[in-house]
Each structure stands twice: as C-alpha cells, then as structure tokens.
Homo-oligomer: A and B are copies of this chain.
Amino acid sequence: MLVLAIDPGYGRCGVAVVEKAEGKERLVYSDCIETSAKDSFPVRLSEVTTACAELLRAYKPDAVALEKLFMTKNQKTAMRVSEVRGALIDLATRHGVPVFEYTPGEVKSAAAGSGSADKRAVIKMLHALLKIEKEIRHDDEYDAIAIGITHLARVRS
C-alpha cells in the first residue's frame, strides 16, 4: 500500500509518499511545493497540480489522501484551499487513483493518539514511527506525512 498524501495549499502544499509493507510504515518521499505570491491564483494552482501529477506518474500510488477542512476564520483562504483540493481530487480521478479525505481531528488522532494533540506531539510521534532523514523545513510537509500515516492506519495493507 503506497499512498500519496497531500496537505492542500496554494502558497505551500505539503506532499508525502508513505508506504506500508510487512506491517511497517516507511516514508518514501516528502516535500513542500511552494509558489510565489506574485503569481495569480490560477498559475499557483497549476504549479501545485503539475507537481502532484508528476508524483502520481513517478510513484503510482494506490490512493491519494487529502486533509478535509470545514471551518476556518478566513473564508476567502478557505475557499481558495477548497479550490486546490478540488483540482487535486479531479487530478487523482483522472489518474484512476481513489481519493480519501481526513479531517484534522482524524489526522491528529491517528498520528498522535488524540484528536486534540498539538503540532509538537504529532511531529514527535512521526519521528518515533518513521525514519525521517531529510530536513523538514515547513510544517505543511509534516502535515502531509501525518495524513499519509492516517490513511495507512485506516486500511489493511
């Protein structure tokens, strides 16, 4: 079971490829796609979907897992992030890959044992669970890894 997990965003978009083999989770790849605020939204969206399309082609995952966000303080940002999510759902469907969506609470619960765990607890658990050898600069990348771990915890490998 190989999953491409994405923490959707148009400024920073965390991506992670996580695998479960012989009962053991493994981090195959992770990155944070970054776009420039100088570019228009369609250009930034296109950069994100183009990068994710390359990951779909390169890793041929069995599933795409995305974070689902209902509520937020900033309605405009929430709308744009939803737009990124939609483009990614459509992208995965075009590649014939099923999409799974998890709420932030589900991700925290699966990655750190509690739906109200803080970011530090999640990161600590990810390091305990996985060999993370690369330097991770942005939380979005950890978020993507956590989403991937959530999906692996939900499916039988």
Contact = CB atoms under 8 A, between A and B. Distances in A.
Given A45-B93, A71-B75, 6 more contacts: A45-B90, A46-B94, A70-B75, A70-B76, A79-B82, A87-B87
A-side interface mostly: helix
27 contacts: A42-B90, A42-B93, A42-B99, A43-B93, A45-B86, A45-B89, A45-B93, A46-B90, A46-B93, A49-B90, A69-B79, A70-B75, A70-B76, A70-B79, A71-B75, A78-B79, A78-B82, A80-B82, A80-B86, A83-B83, A83-B86, A83-B89, A84-B86, A86-B87, A87-B87, A87-B90, A90-B90
Interface of A: 41-43, 45-46, 49, 69-71, 75-76, 78-80, 82-87, 89-94, 98-99
A45 B86 CA distance: 8
- Determine how many copies of this chain the complex contains: 2
A98 B79 CA distance: 19
Nearest to A86: B83
A4 to B, nearest CB: 15
Which A-B residue pairs are the 8 nearest by beta carbons?
A83-B86, A82-B82, A86-B86, A87-B90, A86-B87, A46-B93, A42-B93, A79-B82
Contacts of A89: 41-42, 45, 83, 87
